[in-house]
Amino acid sequence: MIKALGYFIEIIRGILITTRHFVVNLFFHILKVLGIKTKRKGAVTIQYPEQKKEVASRHRSLHRLMTRKDGKPRCVACMLCVTVCPSECIYVEAAEDPDLEIQKYPAKFIIDLGRCCFCGFCVEACPEDAIRMDTGNVDFAEYSQQDLIYDLDKLIG
Amino acid sequence: MTETLTEMLIIFIKIVCALVWFLLLTLYLTWLERKESALIQDRLGANRASIFGIRIIGLFQPFADAIKMIFKEDFVPSFSRKFLHTIAPFISFFFVAITIAAIPFGDILRIGNRTINLQILDFNVGLLFVLAMLSLGIYGIILSGWASNNRYTLTGGLRGVAQVISYEVALGLSLIGLIMVYPSLRLSSIVLYQGELLFGFLPKWGIFLQPLGFLVFMFAALAETKRVPFDLPEGESEIIGFFTEYSGLKWGLFMMTDFMEIIIVSTLLTTLFFGGWQVPWLASDGFHFPWGGELMLPHLVVVLLQVAAFNIKVFFFCWLQILIRWTYPRFRYDQVMDLGWKLLVPLSLVNIIGTGIIMTI
């Protein structure tokens, strides 16, 4: 019983803290409704679909394939990304390029994003800097797994 | 004949009005709970429910919740006792809903030469009725815990019983001092007594005459609502609680019962300790200030002021209870019984003795 009484002050302090948060946040919400701009906001919430947080520059987001000046992909179908990929989600089919400097180009370049774990190893492995994960696009959810299989057109575009 | 018909009609209208007030307030307490907890935790809370793109800070959320609950599957497990399982939420709901009958919303309203008491039933034993019905509400919890035939629900029901016996005694004893001061069990006359003045300026509210009784009653009533500091039967994070096997609208009834208990406890705190519908220094013909001023008001304005005062006090206590729910962690099983038997019961006994001594002096 004595112990319970000893906690009494802490109980009062606890409720004062929550009351302070309630009153202060309510005050800033009311200011916002009245159209008065303040530096502090009533809530730290980011209202997601309308309001997006800037992703960090190093953030690994949706892949993209880089292109040469003439619009063809930089990829030379060396298969390094296919080899290094831990979730085995990249499929590359090579074809011969008439240009002797290039020699090979990807006829098919498919990433199954349903399997991809966004480790970024493919970006590290690529000798041509042909694949990057810097689009900043993080919401590409789909209703079916088929729609998550991205081919060359989608990855370049 | 027409006289009895109009009497019946008036009572019918009073019942409908009180229930509509009760249920609407229950719906919007769910909204208040979400918003208040959000404000306390620096969040925004539910604000997406909209009608034709109009959101108004999530005020439509309770209706969206209700529609969702209606269309959910009403699941009854095959291993449960089906009749008891079905009837348990209704028992819980009914005994809380019926208590509103004894609560005085205001004084007498005069229309023409007819006087209407702004209370559904002016019981002789109103206070006992409310306490009895609130205690009977626990049967719904025990039944649901037993009839679901699931170990988690059974534990929830057992905890509910243990909690009831630890706070119910203190709840009753804390009010004895109050009954000694306002010598009546009729809630309307308790409120009337609180309109008198103490030392000529202080309204004779229960909080001023019975501060200790108020504290004990407040703690015991918080335990009565079975919400977070005392939410042993639920215990969301350890046992899912007595309504583990419920879904859809039956679960919704338990949920509503929770919020209705908050309202009933708020109305009781208001009626017993904060003067009910009394506004300080407002008599039936207007304000009589203790420093000498007078402000005469028409009858309708006075009645409106009284009903508004009652509502504001009730809203305040609902707010306070939600604040308490979002501030404190859960008491342990034995701590609740410790608090009940070792702190609240002795304090209420001290309160009775102290009140008796002061009254004889």
Tell if the CB–CB gap between A43 and B327 is shorter than 8 Å.
no
Give the model confidence (pLDDT) of B173-206 as tens digits: 999 999 998 888 899 889 988 888 877 788 888 8
Cβ contact B24:B14 at 8 Å: no
pLDDT for res A102: 86
Contact between A22 and B39 using a beta-carbon 8 Å cutoff: yes
Q: Hey, which residues does A111 pair with through a beta bridge?
A: A90, A150
Q: Residue B218 and residue B198: Cα distance in Å, rounded? A: 23
pLDDT, tens digit, 9 for 90 and up, residues B16-34: 999 999 999 999 999 999 9
Nearest CA in chain B to A27: B39
A129: Cα separation from own chain's centroid:
20
Residue B48, pLDDT > 90, answer no
Cα end-to-end span (Å), chain B:
53
The pLDDT of residue B55: 84
Tokens standing for residue B205: 């509210």
Mark yes or no for CB contact A21/B338 under 8 Å: no
- pLDDT of A11 > 90? The answer is no
* DSSP H or E run through B168: helix B151-181
Q: Is the pLDDT at A4 greater than 80, yes or no? A: no
Average pLDDT over residues B5-11: 90
Residue A12 with chain B: CB contacts under 8 Å: none
Taking only the tens place, the pLDDT of each residue in B136-174 is 888 888 889 889 888 888 988 888 888 888 888 899 899
Q: Closest by alpha carbon to B226, among B163, B173, B268, B181? A: B163
CA dihedral B5, B9, B15, B20 (to 10 degrees): 160
Alpha helices in B41-150 (DSSP H): 61-71, 82-97, 126-136, 138-147
Provide, rounded to the nearest whole percent, the portion of chain A with pLDDT above 70.
Answer: 96
Q: Average pLDDT in the B115-131 region? A: 87
> How far is the first Cα of chain A from the last one, in angstroms, to the nearest whole number?
71
pTM score, two decimals? 0.86
Q: What percent of chain B has pLDDT over 70?
A: 100
**Judged by CB atoms within 8 Å, which residues 15-54 of B form the interface with A?**
36, 38-44
User: What residues in chain A have their Cβ under 8 A from chain B's Cβ atoms?
Assistant: 1, 4, 11, 14-15, 17-19, 21-22, 25-26, 29, 42-45, 47
- Among B30, B18, B39, smallest CA distance to B59 is for B30
Return the H-helix or E-strand segment holding A104.
strand A104-112
Distance CA B338, CA B334 (A): 6
Whole-angstrom distance, CA of residue B36 vs CA of residue B192: 34
State ipTM: 0.85
Which residues lie closer than 8 Å to B124 by C-beta, 6 or more apart? B185, B186
A54, B76 in Cβ contact below 8 A?
no
HEC secondary structure over B14-45: HHHHHHHHHHHHHHHHHHHHHHHHHHHCCCCC
Q: How confident is the model at residue A83 (pLDDT cuts 50, 70, 90)?
A: very high
Give the one of B39, B44, B342 whose C-beta lies nearest to A26's C-beta. B39
Q: Report how far residue B46's alpha carbon sits from residue B110's, in angstroms, rounded to the nearest whole number.
A: 43
Q: For residue B22, what pLDDT is reported?
A: 93
For helices B299-325 and B248-273, give the axis angle rounded to 10 degrees. 120
Interface check for B323 against chain A (CB to CB < 8 A): the answer is yes
Chain B positions touching A25 (Cβ under 8 A) are: 39-40, 42
Average pLDDT over chain B reads 88
Helix (H, G, I), strand (E, B) or coil at B300: helix
Q: Is the pLDDT of residue A7 over 80?
A: no
Interface mutation vs chain B, best among A7, A11, A20, A25, most B CBs within 10 Å: A25
Place of tokens 């009652």: B310
Partners of A95 in beta bridges? A105
User: How far is Cα A154 from Cα A63, in angstroms, rounded to an integer?
Assistant: 10
What is the per-residue pLDDT for B309? 92
Disruptive mutation site among A22, A28, A48, A51 for chain B (greatest number of B CBs within 10 Å):
A22
